[in-house]
Structure 1
Amino acid sequence: MDTLNYLIDGFGVALAPHNLMFALMGAFLGTLIGALPGLGPANGVAILIPLAFTLGLRPETALIMLTAVYAGAMYGGRISSILLNIPGDEPAMMTCLDGYPMARQGRAAEALAISAVASFIGSLIATVGLILLAPLLARFALTFGAAEYFALFVLAFATLGGITGKNPVKTILAAALGLMIATVGIDLSTGVQRFTFGTLELYEGVDFIIAIVGLFAVSELLVFIEEKAGAGREMIRVNKLSLKWKDIREILPTSFRGGVIGFISGVLPGAGASLGSFISYTLEKKILGSKNRFGEGDSRGVAAPEAGNNGASSGALVPMLTLGVPGSGTTAVLLAMLISFNITPGPLMFTQNADVVWGVIAALLIGNFLLLVLNIPLVGVFVKLLSVPPMYLLPMVTMVAFVGIYSISHSPVDLYFMVAFGVAGYFLRKLEIPLVPVILGMLLGPEMEKNLRHAMQISDGDWMVLWSSPLSITLWAIAIAGLVLPVIVGPILRRRMKAGAQPD
């Protein structure tokens, strides 16, 4: 009953005219960003964070807008997958398998509409799951002590391989780099300067908003300049939509199954939307057996991965809101935005900032309907955007980032730091070192250090306190499994995904 009351209060926040306006704007911008190959939801949210500060938005309004951007980008990723056979981001890869063949058969509008409906169903199922599961997990997390929280942070880093899908050694190096950056500044416990080199601007540490925009937005521009991808791509023509009720009825069971699988994948730290999309597609292929035409333009082959990846995107909010541990790269960026508003995600957030949490959850429900309404009639607008050369789009996006960062502090030094992080991000990407672990190390490092010190003070320096309770031992065991399993299972999974990407 308390959950229902909180949700009603959340609708009161989400339905405020200004919040509704920013949710609509976020959904539209997110779909545009998702449609552009290579940008993806993490980049989209990172680029628009400065806009939240520039406009002076309240925490709940900013989070509602950026969550709508996140959901919209997950929707938008299907547009380039279906029309260009180029995934907007990694989770949309499986949509190419049947979406592009449908478009080649003159059914592009049908494929886009089916993917929008499946995305809506998957996201709706996951949002309901978020409503039911998040309060229970938050109450459970209140039993955590300093040692358990430290073990939880270790678990977050151990499962990063699942989020990034990269080389585990490079992932660990990136996380270590982020933890090193997190130690810059004056130690609040001892007052000792750490790695400031006498620079006044570093006394308060490195602002992770500057780091995020530099690593994602500026490095994206540098990579583009190197590749010189100047011209837009020729697209398949979108026919007039002629979707019938029997077409929707055919994909309903597939979408419901994909939504459930995606939600479970999103809740599991490190699993993410890519896994949800892959499992939804392959499982549906097995369930349908000889009745499917997967790889040849089967509408259910579009619905399954779309429901899976959108279910996972909402599911990834569960560990972020309840435990302060992001379930995906994009939720790591959202976590940074919350911390910048002096809001600490975790179980206490559900009591101390209930308006923010439940406002966002209610906005997710509303946003799903907004996205469904936007995506079907405005497909033509999003399609035309793909024909605009990136040489015009990316500089404009980067200019928004520069103006946004400067508007936060009015300090030219912050712009220098942002450019420095952009150059560093460019070289990290060339070395195929993932950027998300760097950000996560910066975000979780201070809290991880604080809990470690607290545990040491309580135990009078006895390290055994870190694994003295059944809960902490369980978390350590899961962390070790999360670190070891990707090394063993990862290559097998990647081989199967590549095999699944080939039409039968």
Structure 2
Amino acid sequence: MDILQLLMQGFAVALTPENIMYAMIGAFLGTLIGCLPGLGPANGIAILMPLCFSLGLGADSALIMLTSVYAGTMYGGRISSILLNIPGDEPAMMTCLDGYPMARKGKAAEALALSAIASFIGSFLAVIGLIIMAPLLARFALHFGPAEYFALFILAFATLGGITGKNPMKTVLATALGLMLSTIGVDMNTGVERFTYGNLHLYEGIDFIVIIVGLFAVSELFIFIESHAREGQAMIKVEKLKLTARDILNVLPTSLRGSLLGFIAGVLPGAGASLGSFISYTLEKKMLGKKGCFGEGDARGVAAPEAGNNAAANGALVPMLTLGVPGSGTTAVLLAMLVTLNIQPGPMMFQQNADVVWGVIAALLFGNILLLFMNIPMIGVFVKILSVPSRYLMPMVTMVAVVGIYSISNSTTELYMMIGFGVLGYVLRKLDIPLVPIVLGTLLGPTMEVNLRNAMILSGGDVGILWNSGITITIWSVAVIGLLAPVVIGPLLRRKMKAAHEVVE
């Protein structure tokens, strides 16, 4: 009953005229960004984050808008996968396997509609799972002390290999760089200046937003300039929609199974939407066997990965909201938004900021219904936008981010720093060093340092406190597994996804 009452309070926050408008804007922009190849949800949120601050949005409105962008990008990724055989982001790769063959058979409209329905089922059920699991996990986490939280942060960094899918050593290097950046400024405990070099602008550290926009949005522009991007290209024509109730019922069991698997993958820190879409598609293919024609345009081959990746995307919010540990790269960017708004994710968030948390959860439920009704009738609009050459779209997208940063601080110094981080992000991406660990290290570094100091004070300097309880031992064990698992599973998963995609091409 308590959960229902809190959810009703959340709807009271989410369904104000102002927040409905921001949810609609976020859902539209998210779908648009998602359908543009290469941008993806993390870049989309990083680009629009400064806009929320420049508009002076409150915590609830800003988070509702950005979570709507997040949900919209997961829907939008399927459009370029089906029409161009180019996934909007990595999780949408599996949608290409049957989505593009369906489109070549003249069933592009049906593929787009069924993928939207499967995305809705996956997202909606995952939000229900979030409503049930998050309060329980938050209540359990109230028993955590400084040592448990320090171990939890180690777990967050250890699972980054699964989030980024990169070489573990490169992930460690990126994490160390993020932790180094987090120490810049005046130490609040001792008053000692650290890495400021006498520059007054660095006394309070570097703003998270500057780092995120530089690393993601600006570096994306540099990558675009280098590659010259794709011109507006001919895509498969979308005919009139001829969808029957039988078609929907045919993919319903597939969508339900994919939703369950995707949610489990999302809740596990480091697994992410890519794993959700892969295991959903693979399981469905094995279950149906010769009864299906996977890889040749089977509608269930479109529904399975879409339900899986959308469920995983929403499932990743569970560890982020309850423990402050992001379950994906995109939730790491959302975590930065929360910290910037002076909201500390974790179990206390459900008590201290209950209106914001439940407002966002209610907005996710409402937003998914909104996205379903937006994506089917407005598919023609997104198709036309997708055909616009990227050389016109990318500069406009970057301009939004730059203007947003300046409107927040009115400081040219932060613009220079943003460009500097853009150059750094470009170099790191060329070296195949992931950016998410840098962001997470910058975000979690100060809190991690505080918890380590508090643990040492409680123990009188005995480091054994960091692993002398059942909870800490469990977390350290999971962290070791999380660090080693990507070394074994990651390359195998990427090889299979790449091989499957090459078969279609």
TM-score bracket relative to the smaller structure? over 0.9
- Provide the C-alpha distance between the structure 2 equivalents of 1:351 and 1:493, rounded to a whole number of angstroms: 39
Q: Compared with structure 1, are the counterparts of its residues 229 and 502 closer, same or farther at alpha carbon in structure 2 (3 Å cutoff)?
A: closer
Residue in 2 that maps onto 1:35: 35
Is 1:103 aligned to 2:94, yes or no? no
Cα deviation for residue 228 of structure 1 reads 1.3
Please, which moves more after superposition, 274-283 or 389-398? 389-398
Letter in 1 for 2:319: P
Residue in 1 that maps onto 2:249: 249
- Provide the C-alpha distance between the structure 1 equivalents of 2:381 and 2:94, rounded to a whole number of angstroms: 24
| Structure 1 SS opposite 2:87 | coil
**Equivalent residues in 2 for 1:175-190 (5 A)?**
175-190=175-190
Q: What TM-score does the superposition give when structure 2 sets the normalisation length?
A: 0.99
| Structure 2 SS opposite 1:188 | coil
Q: What TM-score does the superposition give when structure 1 sets the normalisation length?
A: 0.99
Cα deviation for residue 232 of structure 1 reads 1.1
Residue in 1 that maps onto 2:262: 262
Cα deviation for residue 502 of structure 1 reads 5.0
Residue in 2 that maps onto 1:359: 359
Residue segments in structure 1 that go unaligned for 5+ positions in a row = none
- Provide the C-alpha distance between the structure 2 equivalents of 1:44 and 1:85, rounded to a whole number of angstroms: 21
Per-residue Cα deviation, 1:97-145 (whole angstroms, up to 9, x for no partner): 0000000011000000000000000001100000000000000000000
Cα deviation for residue 495 of structure 1 reads 2.6
- Provide the C-alpha distance between the structure 1 equivalents of 2:239 and 2:167, rounded to a whole number of angstroms: 42
Letter in 2 for 1:400: V
- Provide the C-alpha distance between the structure 2 equivalents of 1:113 and 1:240, rounded to a whole number of angstroms: 11
- Provide the C-alpha distance between the structure 1 equivalents of 2:367 and 2:321, rounded to a whole number of angstroms: 18
Q: Would the aligned equivalents of 1:295 and 1:502 in 2 still touch at CA under 8 Å?
A: no
Q: Would the aligned equivalents of 1:44 and 1:69 in 2 still touch at CA under 8 Å?
A: yes
Residue in 2 that maps onto 1:460: 460
Letter in 1 for 2:485: L
Q: Would the aligned equivalents of 1:147 and 1:467 in 2 still touch at CA under 8 Å?
A: yes
Letter in 2 for 1:132: I
Cα deviation for residue 290 of structure 1 reads 1.0
- Provide the C-alpha distance between the structure 2 equivalents of 1:492 and 1:422, rounded to a whole number of angstroms: 32
Residue in 2 that maps onto 1:121: 121
- Provide the C-alpha distance between the structure 2 equivalents of 1:263 and 1:376, rounded to a whole number of angstroms: 24
Is 1:4 aligned to 2:14, yes or no? no
Is 1:347 aligned to 2:318, yes or no? no
Q: Would the aligned equivalents of 2:161 and 2:270 in 1 still touch at CA under 8 Å?
A: yes
- Provide the C-alpha distance between the structure 2 equivalents of 1:502 and 1:256, rounded to a whole number of angstroms: 28
Is 1:404 aligned to 2:400, yes or no? no
| Structure 2 SS opposite 1:484 | helix
Cα deviation for residue 488 of structure 1 reads 2.1
| Structure 2 SS opposite 1:326 | coil
Residue in 1 that maps onto 2:229: 229
Q: Would the aligned equivalents of 1:210 and 1:414 in 2 still touch at CA under 8 Å?
A: yes
Letter in 2 for 1:350: F
**Equivalent residues in 2 for 1:319-338 (5 A)?**
319-338=319-338
Residue in 1 that maps onto 2:308: 308
Residue in 2 that maps onto 1:163: 163
Residue in 2 that maps onto 1:52: 52
Per-residue Cα deviation, 1:266-311 (whole angstroms, up to 9, x for no partner): 1000000000000000000011111010000000000000000000
| Structure 2 SS opposite 1:501 | helix
Q: Would the aligned equivalents of 1:294 and 1:503 in 2 still touch at CA under 8 Å?
A: no
Letter in 2 for 1:68: S
Residue in 1 that maps onto 2:427: 427
- Provide the C-alpha distance between the structure 2 equivalents of 1:501 and 1:326, rounded to a whole number of angstroms: 28
Residue in 2 that maps onto 1:481: 481
Per-residue Cα deviation, 1:399-422 (whole angstroms, up to 9, x for no partner): 111110001111111100100000
Q: Would the aligned equivalents of 2:93 and 2:497 in 1 still touch at CA under 8 Å?
A: no
Please, which moves more after superposition, 333-342 or 489-498? 489-498
- Provide the C-alpha distance between the structure 2 equivalents of 1:165 and 1:11, rounded to a whole number of angstroms: 37
- Provide the C-alpha distance between the structure 1 equivalents of 2:492 and 2:98, rounded to a whole number of angstroms: 23
Q: Would the aligned equivalents of 2:178 and 2:437 in 1 still touch at CA under 8 Å?
A: yes
Is 1:153 aligned to 2:153, yes or no? yes
Cα deviation for residue 501 of structure 1 reads 3.2
Letter in 2 for 1:134: A
- Provide the C-alpha distance between the structure 2 equivalents of 1:409 and 1:211, rounded to a whole number of angstroms: 14
Aligned length, in residue pairs: 504
Cα deviation for residue 230 of structure 1 reads 5.5
- Provide the C-alpha distance between the structure 2 equivalents of 1:390 and 1:259, rounded to a whole number of angstroms: 33
Q: Compared with structure 1, are the counterparts of its residues 279 and 358 closer, same or farther at alpha carbon in structure 2 (3 Å cutoff)?
A: same
- Provide the C-alpha distance between the structure 2 equivalents of 1:375 and 1:70, rounded to a whole number of angstroms: 15
Q: Would the aligned equivalents of 1:402 and 1:415 in 2 still touch at CA under 8 Å?
A: yes
Letter in 1 for 2:151: A
Residue in 1 that maps onto 2:283: 283
- Provide the C-alpha distance between the structure 2 equivalents of 1:355 and 1:282, rounded to a whole number of angstroms: 39
- Provide the C-alpha distance between the structure 2 equivalents of 1:69 and 1:281, rounded to a whole number of angstroms: 25
- Provide the C-alpha distance between the structure 2 equivalents of 1:12 and 1:307, rounded to a whole number of angstroms: 28
Q: Would the aligned equivalents of 1:182 and 1:445 in 2 still touch at CA under 8 Å?
A: yes
RMSD (Å) for aligned C-alpha atoms: 0.9
Residue in 2 that maps onto 1:415: 415
Letter in 2 for 1:277: S
